[in-house]
Amino acid sequence: GAVVSQHPSRVICKSGTSVKIECRSLDFQATTMFWYRQFPKKSLMLMATSNEGSKATYEQGVEKDKFLINHASLTLSTLTVTSAHPEDSSFYICSARFMGADYGYTFGSGTRLTVV
């Protein structure tokens, strides 16, 4: 149980275009999702916390107008990288908290974004 499906797994886009990454909780309701960015051989860096039905909370230094987060339902959160630049190339990962007897946190499989 407690699976988060993240799509796409890989995407290549041209500079200046926008890319949308989706994360869906398949068998549970995720009131809160977290979006991380990971550079090669580095740890995960929290970008923002997404709460269903409200505005996301961004970490310091993360441009909210560039990284648009929408959490319109209890099972779907999206991250849109707007006007992408090569420096936005990275591995983006979502995470959700699930409740119940086996509470914990589950991660999506990640999205490798390459901006050319």
Question: How many positions of this chain bind other proteins (CB under 8 A)?
Answer: 21
Positions in 87-116 near other proteins (CB under 8 A): 93, 95, 97, 103-110, 112
Instruction: For residues 67 and 79, give the distance between their C-alpha atoms in angstroms, rounded to a whole number.
Output: 6
Residue 99: C-alpha distances to residues 51, 52, 90, 106 (Å): 15, 15, 30, 11
Q: Does 44 bind other proteins (CB under 8 A)?
A: yes
Nearer to other proteins, 83 or 99 (CB): 99
Q: What is the spatial distance between Cα 2 and Cα 33, in angstroms, rounded to a whole number?
A: 13
Phi, psi of 86 (to 5 degrees): -55, -30
Closest approach, Cβ 91 to other proteins, in A, equals 8
Contact footprint for other proteins (CB under 8 A): 6, 32, 34, 42-46, 49, 93, 95, 97, 103-110, 112
